[in-house]
Structure 1
């Protein structure tokens, strides 16, 4: 199985340094241009399956990437960004002390998702992909926070445990060859 993962293009809240989470924010003009740039990067790739977060910023990015491709884009709730609950819309620099991506702390914002909940969701999603589409070439378009458990699944947990460093840039594309028979252990199991 082959997976391409793309983070959505820039939004105004990215520029302002606001936590978006599950809040549905559209791409800004720069984000649209970034999506067209990653489209050019992936123009020579053909995909058997395209799955995108149903949040507007990711789904818009997927639609631009696939403009000339004969493939249906399917929204998948499991690819939604982490729900940061009461912190959504606040500035990242105003976050309380503590790392919301620290596996040991497993912090959960009020009315949001814990680190464990996000890892459980994405690890189960990737396990499902391996079972259902073992020989497919798949494009996933989602969010910076989803890149964290995805990269941990694909690359292993980093020694430093500094998981925030695994967030990829807007419209950055990462590529993986996946052995569908490989068993990946969830760090929370």
Structure 2
């Protein structure tokens, strides 16, 4: 039997719209984000989820709640699903980061560890991957679990779960707000990526996954 895991990025926030680094700052959904969550939830409902897990940050938790209200399921929260901790970058626009911290910004653009007080990629990947595996274990074989998380956390957590190198991971563009990746697991084939960046708003620009 195959278990299905849906890794879902939260809806839009004012900081997404302003290209401002959120990291683990607890920024709420804006009106667009709430609308995105509601519309995406209608589509996810057709997958008949058996469990919903979310980051405890408000934007992911409220995105998950939109699906919970339609399924009658209770959302479990896991702080390991939080976004990457961006330290002193948090609250800055990406333009400000590039101007004020050019060496760190260059490392980030190259897919390397930033240094300073920004969380290392491997550390983030492992914590998110561990949370994803624990979420999948909540449902019996053949079940479906939906996990609401964040852009950078989703991409790095998926790469760690799939055993991908950083170079492979950089071939994935960021998940759009309220889009998701679909993975499956069975004992013979382990984890496999079935779909990526699926959702209702495929024609909209992608805010930075930060």
Above 0.5 in TM-score?
Answer: yes
| TM-score of the pair, normalised by structure 2 | 0.75
Moved over 6 A (4+): none
Q: Judging changes above 3 Å, is the alpha-carbon distance between structure 1 residues 101 and 122 closer, same or farther for their aligned structure 2 residues?
A: farther
Corresponding residue of 1:187: none
Once the two structures are TM-superposed, the CA of residue 132 in structure 1 deviates from its matched residue by: 5.7
Count of residues in correspondence between the two structures: 181
1:137 aligns with 2:139: no
Gapped runs of 5+ residues in structure 2?
192-210
d(CA) in 2 for partners of 1:113 and 1:158?
15
User: Who is 1:66 aligned against?
Assistant: 68
Question: In 1, distance between residues paired with 2:137 and 2:109?
Answer: 28
- Shifted more, 132-141 versus 74-83: the winner is 132-141
Structure showing the higher strand proportion among its residues: 2
Distance 1:142 1:70 in 2: 20
* TM-score using structure 1 length: 0.83
Q: Which runs of 5+ in 1 are unaligned?
A: 185-189
Q: Does 1:171 align with 2:178?
A: yes
Distance 2:77 2:11 in 1: 17
Q: Which residue of 2 aligns with 1:156?
A: 164
1:33 and 1:130 map into 2 onto residues whose CA distance is 27
1:113 aligns with 2:124: no
